[in-house]
Structure 1
Amino acid sequence: MSKVDIKFNENPKAPDAGADVSILSREIAEKVRRFHSTFDTYAPTPLARLTHLADHLGLGEILVKDESYRFDLNAFKVLGGTYAVGKLLAQKLGKEIDEVSCNELRSEETRKAVGDITFASTTDGNHGRGLAWAAQQFDQKAIIYMPKGSDPIRRDNIRALGAECTISELYYDDCVRMAWDTAQKNGWLTVQDTSWEGYEEIPTSIMQGYTTLALEALEQMQAMGVNRPTHVLLQAGVGCFAGAMLGFFMSVFEKDAPTFIIVEPEAANCFYVSACENDGTPHAVTGSLATLMAGLACGEPNITSWEMLRDYPLAYASCSDDIAAKGMRILGAPMKGDPQVISGESGAATTGFLQWVMQEEEGREAREKLGLTKDAKVLCINTEGDTSPETYRDVVWFGRNN
């Protein structure tokens, strides 16, 4: 049986009274996209318009940004890794990121100037694959660690890009600490998509890297005649991605910003728990963090995005795994006339939540408080495709987590 717990923000902030979002402005997003566009394989990912699903659920629009097409890597995370690595290499050349291109950074001259670099990180799969791809593009080395229980296919995908990758016996947050300590001892550069005191510059660059997809989505929806989304549903693991999307749309629309809803797995719901504590500080959840939504199995909020995700969302939803499974099936077997979206476990969490809140009796009060009506224009982001094909088939074909 589906289980969704929703905590409403008791004191959502106005744009001029909450956390600063200027590091995620449209101007910065345009600079980030300019860098990404210098890669030969860059192309905007599709924005799927699910008109018939919107009618079925009683909404004005459902738009799904489909990151399964990103750089042929099946997930959005590569946007953060490439931008962070690009900035690091540019700095070593004494340049700004907007002064360099992918080709310049992969040139023989750059390679001689910067020397041998090893980039290290912990990943549930997609960030590590993106970082491995970035290192490969620039003829550098990557060493990636994965937490206990990770799908070996995700490890193999990382290795196929020339990186070293091992699955540890540690849960995610402990694996992050181990990877950091190992990198420090060996003189490697940590490129981690979460932050802690004293390690904030690179995670900020990663967040900024994600704004390419937000800028694309905004331009695509406006080309469809949708000036702005009224609601943006965002998955949260450590919160780097959710903070990037929220910060961009807050910066662009300010007082007309959309309503933001944060969606997490109940086994790794650190933002929901922090909202329930309501003391203004982040709270971690511990244990195995075992969830179908492997990419969201993170127990400690990212401090770089924490204040944004504390101040601006209207609600935080903690969801059982079957919510994501339903989302995968809804997107994979669309209503007649709607495009198909192949979505992995983490990518489909928001679509599954949207179906629950719109159609289940238990969601009635929440959908009214959230303003999810026939006039609502809802944006979801499919953050990954079938990055674990066996899991995808088990869920979509054979009804796992039904």
Structure 2
Amino acid sequence: MLFSNPNAKREAYPQSLQKIMSIKQANESRNWLSKWNQLSATATPLWDLRDLAKQLNVEKICVKDESYRSPLGSFKALGAPIALVRLILQLFPEKNFNAQALLAGDYQGQLGSFTAISATDGNHGRALAAAAQSVGCRCVIVLHANVSVEREEAIAAYGAEIVRIAGNYDESVERAATLARENQWYVVSDTSYEGYEIIPRDVMQGYGTIAAEIIEVSEASQREGRPFTHIFLQGGVGGMAAGLASYFWELYGVDRPTLVVVEPSQADCLYQSALNGQASNATGSVDSVMAGLACGETSPLAWKFLGESVDHFMLISDDDAVAAMRVLAAGSGNDVPVVGGESGVAGLAGLINLAGAPADAARVGLNKGSRVLIINTEGATAPSVYEELVGESGESVQKRQQSWLSIHKH
């Protein structure tokens, strides 16, 4: 299902938004993260899928592969540590902490009484737990009923204390806020709500690293103009989409690429926001195999950026996501096999759907000259789920990937 946003604008990046998120701040965050031992020392790959582009009748499809970002397995490793560091710097100005030294663990003995808490579908909580372990503070993570035991164990492995609730993601957000108030802890969430925007902003700003890397690689090989005509972004509460959309909007202004946001049909909060012209809630059950996108409430802060920058909003089914996982995993003669997690493939699933619907493709402006960017936001962060859905383990796909790369290294 496709909705073309009547409020999307083609203009310079507004000063009002630049005061909230900017390329300058994104670059500072990137510099702080550059020495954290939980992140890759090099940029994540930007795969060029030539056979798939030909199959879908576009000029180019590139996939930014965040499964390489960190042992944490997803792009969330860029957001939580930046938010945690900025919060600590704000709370303890008298200590003159250095941001990079915080993440290096140089002040561990000074933060034992500080506690960070957050709700999560999995990846954000895991990243926050790892960051808290590095800086030396306590971390509490609230998990809702649909978060797998496998994801819980991955978070607990970084020393976080787990609180389980019976409700959904949005109820876990409420529980985290309540626990913080009762215990004088600090919520480090990627979801904004009334009176809570600074930390989600810092999380979103951390995601600018993805855009910066994309630009550095793609513009170097692009002789003129924008390297991409279309960018497909995952939904969720909107944080990742806003972090990247703002970067590309500020960089390219009126010439920004066409932006398409994709989310599960049963977790359609951004789609509903576009329909209503304001941050809104989902209308479905929210539960989805795309665990990282199973969110029922739009982040109001994220919507400030998405409401006027995203040209189209799409809904996909769980079956669409699983099919896209298999397409990426399979690879081909010219396309490297890629481990794309359930939420990581949402953009590709949306593109595949559009390619099979000529009228919708025309509305989005997809044609033989389109150069499309997809963000694979996660690898097999729940290995057993990945293997069940794809019919092959993530490790097996990675082995085939290495074999493909060894053949195509020249």
State the TM-score, normalizing by the size of structure 1.
0.91
Counterpart residue number, 1:46: 45
Question: Which deviates more, 182-191 or 112-121?
Answer: 112-121
Q: Secondary structure at the match of 1:165?
A: strand
Provide the secondary structure at the position in 2 that maps to 1:263. Answer: strand
Identify the residue that residue 9 of structure 1 maps to in structure 2. 5
Q: Is the 8 A contact 1:64 1:381 kept in 2?
A: yes
Instruction: State whether residues 18 and 312 of structure 1, in contact with CA within 8 Å, keep that contact through their aligned partners in structure 2.
Output: no
2:185 aligned partner: 188
Please give the alpha-carbon distance, in whole angstroms, between the structure 1 residues aligned to 2:7 and 2:119: 34
Alignment of 1:233-252 (within 5 A): 233-252=232-251
Alignment of 1:316-355 (within 5 A): 316-355=313-352
What's the C-alpha RMSD, in Å, of the aligned pairs? 2.0
Q: Which residue of 1 is the match for residue 161 of structure 2?
A: 164
Q: Do structure 1's residue 381 and structure 2's residue 375 form an aligned pair? A: yes
Q: CA deviation at 1:273?
A: 1.6
Shift of residue 209 of structure 1? 0.8
Equivalent residue number for residue 98 of structure 2: 100
CA distance in 2, matches of 1:140, 1:38: 19
Structure 1: distance between partners of 2:114 and 2:227: 42
Amino acid at match of 1:283: S
What residue in structure 1 maps to residue 214 of structure 2?
217
Comparing 116-125 with 52-61, which one deviates more in the overlay? Answer: 52-61
Gapped runs of 5+ residues in structure 2?
393-410
Deviations along 1:279-338, whole A, 9 cap, x unmatched?
Answer: x22221256411111110101110111122111211110111111111101111112121
Cross-structure match for 1:64? 63
Partner AA of 2:181 in structure 1 = Q
**Aligned-pair CA distance for 1:62:** 0.7
1:128 aligns with 2:122: no
Q: Distance in 1 between matches of 2:93 and 2:284?
A: 43
SS in 1 for 2:231: strand
* Distance across 2 between alignment mates of 1:396 and 1:42: 26
Aligned to 2:399: none
In 1, the alpha carbon distance for the partners of 2:144 and 2:283 equals: 14
Say if 1:19 and 1:307, in contact at 8 Å, map to a contact too.
no
- What are the equivalent positions in structure 2 for 1:277-288 lying under 5 Å apart? 277=276, 280-285=277-282, 288=285
The count of residues paired between Structure 1 and Structure 2 equals: 387
Percent identity (aligned): 37
What CA distance in whole angstroms lies between the structure 1 residues aligned with 2:221 and 2:138?
42
> Do 1:145 and 1:179's aligned partners in 2 also have CA atoms closer than 8 Å?
yes
Q: Give the 3-state SS of the residue equivalent to 2:339 in structure 1.
A: coil
Following superposition, the deviation at residue 186 of structure 1 comes to 0.7
Structure-2 separation of matches of 1:170 and 1:128: 17
CA contact (8 A) 1:155 1:167 kept: no
Q: Tell me, in whole angstroms, the C-alpha distance in 2 between the residues paired with 1:112 and 1:133.
A: 17
Instruction: Provide the C-alpha distance between the structure 1 equivalents of 2:333 and 2:167, rounded to a whole number of angstroms.
Output: 44
Question: Are 2:111 and 2:136, in contact at CA under 8 Å, matched by a contact in 1?
Answer: no
Change (3 A) 1:388 1:205: same
| 8 Å contact kept, 1:327–1:350 | no
Report the more deviating stretch, 191-200 or 50-59.
50-59
Superposed counterparts of 1:278-317, under 5 Å: 280-285=277-282, 288-317=285-314
Once residues 146 and 233 of structure 1 are traced to their aligned partners in structure 2, the CA distance between those partners, rounded to angstroms, is 28
Unmatched 5+ stretches in structure 1 = none
Contact in 1 for aligned 2:7/2:307 (Cα 8 Å): no
Q: Which amino acid is the alignment partner of residue 374 of structure 2?
A: C
- The aligned residue for residue 395 of structure 1 is 389
* Alignment partners' CA distance in 2, 1:221 and 1:255: 19
Q: Please name the residue that 2:360 is paired with.
A: 366
Shift of 1:346: 0.5
Which 10-residue stretch deviates more, 213-222 or 196-205? 213-222
Q: What corresponds to 2:203 in structure 1?
A: 206
174-183 or 87-96, which deviates more: 87-96
Shift of 1:6: 0.7
**Conserved? CA contact 1:351–1:380, under 8 Å:** yes
Equivalent residues of 1:211, 1:245 under 8 A apart: yes
- CA 138–19 in structure 1, closer or farther in 2 if over 3 Å, else same: same
Name the CA shift for 1:356/1:257 in 2 (closer, same or farther; >3 Å): same
Q: 1:95 & 1:37 partners in 2: Cα distance?
A: 25
TM-score, normalization: structure 2?
A: 0.89
Q: 1:19 to 1:63 in 2, by over 3 A?
A: farther
CA distance in structure 1 between the partners assigned to 2:315 and 2:94 by the alignment: 43
2:246 aligned counterpart, secondary structure:
helix
- Residue 84 (str. 1) matches residue 79 (str. 2): no
Indicate the larger mover: 331-340 or 131-140: 331-340
Asked whether the 8 Å contact 1:18–1:311 carries over to 2, the reply is no
Aligned equivalents of 1:222, 1:17: Cα separation in 2: 20
Deviation of 1:80 (Å):
0.5
What residue in structure 1 maps to residue 113 of structure 2? 116
Cα distance, 1:115 vs structure 2: 4.6
The letter of the residue matching 2:222 is G
Which residue number corresponds to residue 269 of structure 2?
270
Distance in structure 1 (CA, Å) of the matches to 2:89 and 2:103: 8
